[in-house]
Structure 1
């Protein structure tokens, strides 16, 4: 039987979506090494470069500061020139940052490199979400995005643990990150050649006048001032900060100093946490399709995080199997971005979706910078007063709990969608 034109178009669109998601997924694998390598890099920078916990927290948190600073202009770029072109422009900045980080010999040069990486890679997940919006049916966007982030991010996260630790041990920081720079550049070239924003993106310039820059900025301000989104933006503080503070930074030192694991053993434990994070990401994508209340999904995830961290705050020296299971479950519950992005999307038109989602990212990445830097200072303070390592980690867990409880308490009043007219 011959396909009707609409069936043929749909089949072609599905094939294109699969190809594009595969390309973006491979690119995201290498992005994720930078995003998830904090635990391994923290141990390396402390033991091999002699950096203090405050310095480590500053270097690792600098990437998220750069990402946060780039979110608002990136949101305008997404809606003006499209996610693919934005991804390419910012990718060049990230590439420069990877090279700078690889060649750095001074802590402040390491910070500068991480800031540039953050600026360049801070909008990758939003770009994936927006490109998926251009190709996938509306009810499949969240699942497509979560599937890519979950699978590709999981692979990248695995590479950011034991393999990264082995690479640092054998070829050092410079060799490891120069290879990462080469792979990133090759993937950017493939994206430039083969990825488009949607089936009609080649004709986008003929589809009517675009917003002026002033109109784009005014639209961003309007999105930021929307009362319907304020509680979502507040909850956005915790869409990634809890995991990136614990699983992405301090879990490595925790396993080494409190659980007395070697660097290699700690990297294996971190690998399991990263796998858990991306299992959770995929699970949230499925829940986005079937759950009747996105607010309830988010609040349930926060409650699980608080319970797990609460046990560790009260009992930081728990046996390794107990601590490992608690951190694994915490990591599964942590990746709330897909649900929050889908929730925000209900309140804005498509032409402003990029700005709404990057506002969530702004809050989340600012939260990462503040929490990573702040908890580094807490651990330094405990060490300076002669406190045991477990005391510092107890305070880290308690600090993250406090932020989760406050943000979730505000978000609890968020409506599911806009009020019906009349």
Structure 2
């Protein structure tokens, strides 16, 4: 018999619980990854269509930065209440409650005729998707052993990031055939269908495990636990690397990659969709490869360090050689996408800091750093790029010069290195010991 959770705690994996049937696990994974596909598509969906939106609404780079980052603002703002409610009510209920907002955000975005309305739609999408990664991670904590967490996070990210693929060439094709507005209505319908599957298939705990996650404690006690989270040794070091690690990759794939290859290299809608596609594909391959590296190295510090320095180096390479075009530019985007996929190890390092009482609030608060970092980095790079005056481009129209993007990419590289200097002092529990 499984051991019931102590008052005020979230349930965690119990080795005494019988292993669930393979079919049950496969269905669980399929639905949890599907809901994350929606989140990955929506967060990265501005990059390919950014030039089209900018032309239609006459938006400057600063406005594009705000528009894209608004998703991450809504996502980040939801993390603090999300962590408490996951620990209090369970991840399934949180995912079911938030999916409706994601659907509403798609509809608002599709019908908007102004920057303000588009931004509202992006914020609603962000709030709606806020539980689609933390919810599954919390479920994996309850269903599987701790030493499998990094691998499971890598699988979740790898499969879920198929949504990023859909936000590249497929989004470009759909935009060309039906327009970006109709495309977002289609995505909203798909999100609603996946939400129904969550309601029918997902369980917070494996069969045979008593679900008491929603009974103990109070919401006030749950929120009070946030103070404990920020006092956990290593929290702020992980907060720093979470703030810039993922945001650098998303700043390129989800926003500036498309405008960069259009302004500097003259790529059209289809071409920029293709180069973003290969970058996203390399990232997905990388997620599966990076996931188990914490067990390979016996800890998380080494692989996170390799991934961070790899990413910073490729940002410098993009500054120096990104305007070469052809195979050189494709190679840079591919290598950058693969190297930046160390996120599951970074996430596992954060999860290892917290005991089962605080795991829901702990990983969601660190996710606040992740998504808040994207909001800040996209907004800041928008200001940097917008500070440079437009010049005649390859097609004769006015575009932002290469030096504008060089300045933004250099800023991202410096930010990663600075964050790593803070992160390097974080305690790193031995894999399997936490």
CA distances 1:153-174 after superposition (whole Å, capped 9, x unpaired):
1x22221111111212222232
Which of 10, 20, 35 is residue 27 of structure 1 equivalent to? 35
The answer to whether the 8 Å contact 2:84/2:222 transfers is yes
Which of 324, 335, 338 is residue 330 of structure 2 equivalent to? 324
2:63 matches 1:59: no
Alignment map for 1:7-406 (pairs within 5 Å)? 10=18, 12-153=20-161, 155-199=162-206, 203-205=210-212, 210-383=216-389, 389-406=401-418
Quote the offset at 1:192 in angstroms.
0.4
Distance 1:47 1:227, change over 3 A: same
CA-based RMSD of the aligned residues comes to: 2.3
Structure-1 separation of matches of 2:151 and 2:209:
26
Quote the offset at 1:376 in angstroms.
1.2
Partner residue in 1 for 2:421: 409
Structure-2 separation of matches of 1:208 and 1:371:
36
TM-score, scaled relative to structure 1: 0.91
Structure-2 separation of matches of 1:254 and 1:380:
13
Secondary structure of the equivalent of 1:221?
Answer: helix
More helix, by proportion: 1
Distance 1:385 1:321, change over 3 A: closer
CA distances 1:90-124 after superposition (whole Å, capped 9, x unpaired):
11221211111111111100000100111111231
The answer to whether the 8 Å contact 2:71/2:125 transfers is yes
Partner residue in 2 for 1:3: none
Structure-2 separation of matches of 1:364 and 1:12:
32
Residue ranges of structure 1 left out of the alignment (5+ in a row): 1-6
Count of matched residue pairs: 411
Structure-1 separation of matches of 2:111 and 2:214:
46
- Which range moved further: 370-379 or 194-203? 194-203
The answer to whether the 8 Å contact 1:13/1:199 transfers is no
Distance 1:384 1:44, change over 3 A: closer
- Which range moved further: 273-282 or 309-318? 309-318
